[in-house]
Structure 1
Amino acid sequence: MTELFPVSSLGHSVLLPAWIGGSWQHLVTENATGNSEGSPYLAFIVALHVATAAALLVFYRKDWARIIRALVGVARTRRVETSTERLAMLLIVATIPVGITGLALEHTFRTLFAKPLAAAVFLTLNGLILLAGERLRRRSEQRATAAALPGGPGAALAADTRTEGAANRKLETLSYREAGVIGLFQTLALFAGISRSGITMVGGLLRGLDHEDAAKFSFLLATPVILAAGVLKLPSLAGPAGAHIHGQVIVGFCTAAVAAYIAVRFLSRWFTTRTLTPFAVYCLLAGAASAVHFA
């Protein structure tokens, strides 16, 4: 569930075994070693990621059917004419930065930072990022409201509001540059403790999307990234890393798929009326407690 909740699944995959300790401790060590590609724990986590992507595909199956049809249409006409075609292109643009960075640096980031203390620090930072995103979003809304009032601050304030991102923009009104910036935000999730969904939601909020559209764009954007990363590493399950754990992988996959589907269904409703603040508080408390424990 932490793959979609804005609390960092990678951070939890490091911190939970470390907190439990005992025979679980070696899982953390395996995940952060230079030869971790042969780690059964990493292979297991990969299977969970693929399950999450599958759940997202099922939940957003109608959206993805429209997006794929739109991509075919763009390839045929070489023009972007509809809102769905624009959304499809925005997703491609936003996926490029994390795709390149992930391929080049994922192993390096994991071996350097997938350690309990580092994950605790980044989880605390994740909480601060979520709180900052909410605060800046509120300020942007207040400025937009003030600029719209008769006798308000006027054109200068309205221009300032547009600079930060107009409030309650529609998803398809994002520019390609803004989508690319949100994609760059997503690369921070390579640090264990920084949430992919959280950081991309903050990026969307800062460009004027409401919480519902920011969450939807985050989940749509996460689907190809999680799926590609998982499929790329799935062959490890056929090697020594996957030996003797196929039963556990199947159980974990099924459990993760159900949990992820429940999570995305819950969160898609949560963000119609609520904010990131409760998740930020959790990250601050869990991160600070873990930092003290592992310091």
Structure 2
Amino acid sequence: MKEIILGIVQGLTEFLPVSSSGHLAIFSSFMDIDTNVPYFALLHLSTFFAVLIFVWKEVVNLIRGLFKWEKESLSLFLKLIISSIPAALIGFTLEASIESAFSSLTLIGIFLIVTAIFLLISDTLKGKKSLTEMAYVDALIIGLMQALAIFPGISRSGATLFGALLMKTKREDALKYSFLMSLPVTFGAGIFEINKVTFSPWVILGGLFAFVFGLLGLYLLKKTVLVGKLRYFSYYCFAIGLIAIII
């Protein structure tokens, strides 16, 4: 049963801008769960397949464009690489600090409030840039925002959306870019540990729940971003952040 609960939490919070790592860390402190166990590799892969299905058309078009050496596809691929570099560098150099942050509910609470601020500001931002018009420096700044999400409590989707909207990207394209950026992150978080997973019916069910609720989370995020209602997630992050700090 614990596996299903974690699957639901991971699936929803991986893409909703409320920080899956922060929620899992908070849950682990109350439910005596080790967040470093290989089981979480399966959950990450489940959410990877959820987002892959959600942006399947964009991924196929990108791959086709790369094989045809289309300028727009090559440019988008390079931007995605640039956006991925900061998180990889910071994750490697600050590994010890990141691990210690998972054990501090106070820090997690502070980071959740930072996420809340990002979301609140994001609702006020408007842009007209398409992914084609996005500059490489924009991709770097969005990547730096994603790097912040290495710390528990900072939402990856919330931070990258904030970065993209701050760079005057259209809401729909900011969302699409955030989803595409998440593919290597979620895949990498799962593939290197999947061979250590001990499979059982409950574990498989947990993975299925993570996949289904991941799709639900993606749908809800898309609807929320396009209508400019991120502030509701902001209020939630403020509340959970304050609770984490107080307890």
Length-normalised TM-score, structure 1: 0.74
Root-mean-square deviation (Å): 1.9
Q: Who is 1:272 aligned against?
A: 226
2:16 aligns with: 5
The one-letter amino acid paired with 1:112 is S
Which runs of 5 or more structure 2 residues have no equivalent in the other structure?
A: 1-11
Please give the per-residue CA displacement for 1:104-155, whole angstroms capped at 9, x wherever unaligned. Answer: 44x42442100222212211221122223444x2xxx5xxxxxxxxxxxxxx
How far is the alpha carbon of 1:199 from its aligned partner?
0.1
Q: Measure the CA separation in 1 of the matches of 2:227 and 2:123.
A: 13
- Who wins on radius of gyration, i.e. which is larger? 1
Cα distance per residue 1:187-239 (max 9 Å; x no partner): 111110000000000000001113222111111111111112211222332xx
Q: Counterparts in 2 of 1:106-185, with a 5 A limit?
A: 107-115=95-103, 116-135=105-124, 137=125, 141=126, 167-185=127-145
Structure 1 residues 275 and 89: CA distance shift in structure 2, 3 A: farther
Find the aligned partners of 1:109 and 1:226 in 2 and give their Cα distance: 21
Residue 25 of structure 2: aligned partner: 14
* Residues 1:220 and 2:180 aligned together: yes
**Aligned runs of 1:60-75 on 2, under 5 Å?**
60-74=55-69
Q: Give the counterpart of 1:102 among 65, 82, 91.
A: 91
Tell me the equivalent position of 1:145.
none
How much identity, in percent, do the aligned residues show?
A: 30
Change (3 A) 1:125 1:250: same
SS of residue paired to 1:49:
helix
Matches of 1:103 and 1:7, distance apart in 2: 24
Q: Which secondary structure does the structure 1 equivalent of 2:38 belong to?
A: helix
CA gap of 1:275–1:172, structure 2 versus 1, over 3 A, is: farther
Normalised TM-score (structure 2): 0.87
Q: 2:191: which partner in 1?
A: 231
Q: How does 1:234-253 map to 2 (within 5 A)?
A: 234-237=194-197, 242=198, 246-253=200-207
1:58 aligns with 2:53: yes
Residue 40 of structure 2 corresponds to residue 45 of structure 1 = yes
- Is this contact kept in 2: 1:211–1:275, CA < 8 A? no
Could you tell me how far apart the structure 1 residues matched to 2:97 and 2:213 are?
27
**Equivalent residue for 1:89?**
78
Shift of 1:103: 4.1
CA contact 1:52–1:257 (8 Å) conserved in 2? yes
Count the aligned residue pairs: 235
